[in-house]
Amino acid sequence: MPHKDDNTFNILFFGDVSGDAGCRALRFMLDKLKRTYNADMVIVNGENSDKGYGISSESLSMLKQCPIDVITLGNHAFEKDGADRDIENDPMILRPENFIDVPGRGYSVYEINGVKVGCGNIHLRSGINGVVDCPFKTADRIVKNLSKITPIIFIDAHGEDGCEKEALFMYLKGRISALCGTHTHVQTADEKIASGTAYITDVGMCGASLSVIGGDINSSIRKAKECMPVHIEAVQGKAVVMGVCVSVDIQSGKSTNIERIYMHETE
C-alpha cells in the first residue's frame, strides 16, 4: 500500500468507465478503495460512461454518487445530446484542452483538504479520428498556467498509440507530477517514475469483466470478423475496476510512487 504522511498526497485515477457496469462498480467499491490506498483525491475518465459512448446527464448523475473529484473525457466527450451543457457548466468535468472551439475547460485547479492540485486533459493524435491541436504545445500551455498555482500537476493523456503517450511523457518528465494514459481500456504494466513524474501508458477501464473491452461480445466478434460497422454498446455483468494510485510530495510536486489497481467487483 502507498505511503501516507503529512507531506504525501495520494491520487486515485481510474480508466474509462464503460457503461452502467463501470458506474455501479465504482459506486460500491470506491469508498473501500479510498480507505485502502489512503487516497486524498479521485479522478475518473468518464467518456464511455453512457452505454459505452460519451457522457450523459444520467451517467454523470451516477458518477456523482461516488466520491469523485474530477471527471476527464476523450474522443466521445460530446457524443450524447446535452453533454455540451454539462461539460460547459460543471466544474468537475474536464474535456481535452486541445479540442477546437468547444464548450468547457481542459484544465483546472482543485483544492482538496487545503492542497491545490492542477488537472489537465489532453487528446492525442495517432489512431483516433478527429482534428485536435498539437498535444505537445497544449501540454506546454497547461503546465505553464497550472505551475503558477501549484507544483502538483496531473494529466490524463487520452490516446490510442503507446508510442505517442510515452513520447509526451518524456517531453514532460520533471515538469509535472503524473501523466497517465486512457482510451484503450487495456491496462499496461509499464508504470514508472522518471524525474519525479509518474507514468503509465494506459490505466485500463472500469466495466464488465466478461466483455470485449467493456462492450458486447457478439457484436465485437462480428465487427472484427466481418469488418462490419457494428455499433457496440457496453454490457452489464460483474465488473473489473482498473486504475492507479499515485503518491505525490506536496511541497515539490514530485511523485514518489505509482501502483496499479486491478480489482474485480466481487473482491
Please say whether the dihedral angle defined by the alpha carbons of residues 254, 260, 266 and 267, taken in this order, is positive or negative.
Answer: negative
Asked if pLDDT for residue 134 goes beyond 90, the answer is yes
Tell me the pLDDT tens digit for each residue of 215-259.
889 999 999 999 888 888 889 999 999 999 999 999 999 999 999
Tell me the pLDDT tens digit for each residue of 148-200.
999 999 999 999 999 999 999 999 999 999 999 999 999 999 999 999 999 99
C-alpha closest to that of 119 among 246, 242, 261:
246
**What pLDDT is recorded for position 265?**
83
- How is residue 129 written as a grid cell? 479520428
C-alpha closest to that of 71 among 101, 102, 50, 100:
50
Tell me the pLDDT tens digit for each residue of 62-105.
999 999 999 999 999 999 999 999 999 999 999 999 999 999 99
Asked if pLDDT for residue 267 goes beyond 70, the answer is no
Asked if pLDDT for residue 36 goes beyond 80, the answer is yes
DSSP 2-26: ----TTEEEEEEE-EE-HHHHHHHH
Asked if pLDDT for residue 131 goes beyond 90, the answer is no
Q: Which residues are known to be catalytic? A: 76
Q: CA angle, corner 114, sides to 110 and 119, nearest 5?
A: 20
Cβ pair 103, 69 in contact under 8 A: no
